[in-house]
């Protein structure tokens, strides 16, 4: 194996975290901000990119790190190593309510494609790169643009799904239509494209967007019930307005109550 062979355990229900057990000299890489806790003896190191390529030279490291900018991530990742004798643990937490999904890349042919904000952490040696869409429609309207993340190697990786996670095993030719934001990831055998919702009423009044993601088997697809963009939109829509003063959720007056409030200025 080129990737470190790590053991793990996932804790919790709604707000999960994954505990990685590292043997001596084993390591794990993670996105900045996902770290939760670690045992004494774990060494933390900030690295360019994912650190999977050791002999690419300075320019290669710069190019590898630069690819991460295209996915909206930081130039840097954080690596954690066990430098002592004996096993040590390091833990990483999910960013919002949902499920942590362990991905054994050997069962996916060494490659897994996911949303650019789904990746949490992976065994040292796993490559965290970018996957360009070759289809114009998917690039323009697929929700994630031309770029998704790809995880390559023969080790364990962990991705996060918001809300409740659904795992779908698609047979050859079987099709699944999904809201573009609800995709967590899929293996490389799945054909991914977008499809117009169709119909004037559906387009103008449906409220579900103009396009579906069309996923065609064979292969495995992971779907989330609560993408972060949807969660953030609901929070912003419910935020108090007019200086933060709550007018009473569910009030029959609604917006009229804002007009009648004495604190409004015209």
In-domain check, residue 263: no
- Give the whole-angstrom CA distance, residue 122 versus residue 109: 16
Counting the structural domains of the chain, the total is 1
**260's torsion region: left (phi>0), alpha (psi -120 to 50) or beta?**
alpha
Phi (first) and psi of residue 66, to 5 degrees: -65, -30
- Give the domain extent around 186: 7-237
- Is 262 a member of any domain? no
How much is the pTM?
A: 0.77
CA dihedral 119, 218, 108, 168 (to 10 degrees): 50
Domain assignment present for 139: yes
Exposed, middle or buried by CB within 10 Å (0-12, 13-18, 19+), for 13? exposed
Structure tokens of 24?
A: 């001596």
Q: Is 246 within a domain?
A: no
CATH number of the structural domain spanning residue 198: 3.60.160.10
Answer positive or negative: Cα dihedral of 138, 159, 31, 61.
negative
In a domain, 243, yes or no: no
- Whether 101 is covered by a domain: the verdict is yes
The Cβ of residue 100 has, within 10 Å, a number of other Cβ atoms equal to: 21
Contact yes or no for 241/258 (Cβ under 8 A): yes
Could you read off the pLDDT tens digit of each residue along the chain, which spans 266 residues?
578 889 999 999 888 999 999 999 999 999 888 999 999 999 999 887 666 655 455 555 555 555 555 555 566 789 999 988 899 999 999 988 999 999 999 999 999 999 878 899 999 989 888 887 655 455 555 455 457 888 999 999 999 999 999 999 999 999 999 988 889 999 999 998 887 765 454 444 444 556 788 899 999 999 999 887 777 777 777 777 655 555 444 444 455 455 445 454 44
The dihedrals phi and psi of 153, each to the nearest 5 degrees, come to 145, -160
User: Does residue 254 lie within any of the structural domains?
Assistant: no
Q: Is 208 within a domain?
A: yes
Show the tokens assigned to 4.
Answer: 């470190």
Strand partners, 80: 28, 44
Residue located via tokens 């099709």: 175
């Amino acid at each position: 194996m080129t990737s470190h062979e790590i053991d793990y355990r996932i804790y919790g229900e709604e707000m999960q975290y994954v505990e990685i057990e590292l043997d001596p000299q084993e390591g794990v890489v993670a996105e900045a901000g996902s770290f939760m806790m670690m045992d004494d003896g774990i060494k933390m190191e900030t690295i360019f990119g994912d650190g999977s390529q050791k002999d690419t030279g300075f320019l290669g490291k710069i190019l590898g790190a630069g690819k991460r900018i295209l996915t909206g991530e930081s130039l840097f990742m954080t690596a954690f190593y066990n430098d002592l004798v004996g096993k040590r643990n390091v833990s990483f937490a999910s960013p919002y309510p949902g499920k942590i999904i362990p991905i054994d890349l050997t069962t996916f042919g060494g490659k897994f494609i996911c949303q650019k904000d789904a990746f949490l952490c992976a065994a040292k040696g796993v490559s965290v790169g970018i996957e360009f869409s070759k289809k114009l429609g998917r690039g323009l309207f697929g929700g994630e643009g031309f770029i998704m993340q790809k995880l390559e190697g023969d080790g364990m990786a962990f991705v996060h799904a918001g809300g409740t996670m659904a795992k779908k095993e698609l047979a050859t030719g079987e099709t699944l239509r999904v809201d573009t934001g609800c995709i967590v990831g899929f293996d490389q055998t799945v054909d991914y494209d977008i499809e117009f919702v169709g119909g004037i009423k559906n387009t103008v009044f449906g409220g579900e967007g103009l396009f579906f993601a069309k996923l065609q088997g064979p292969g495995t697809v992971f779907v989330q019930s609560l993408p972060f963009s949807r969660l953030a939109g609901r929070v912003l829509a419910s935020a108090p307005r007019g200086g933060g003063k709550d007018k009473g959720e569910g009030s029959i007056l609604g917006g009229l109550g804002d007009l009648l409030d004495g604190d409004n200025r015209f």
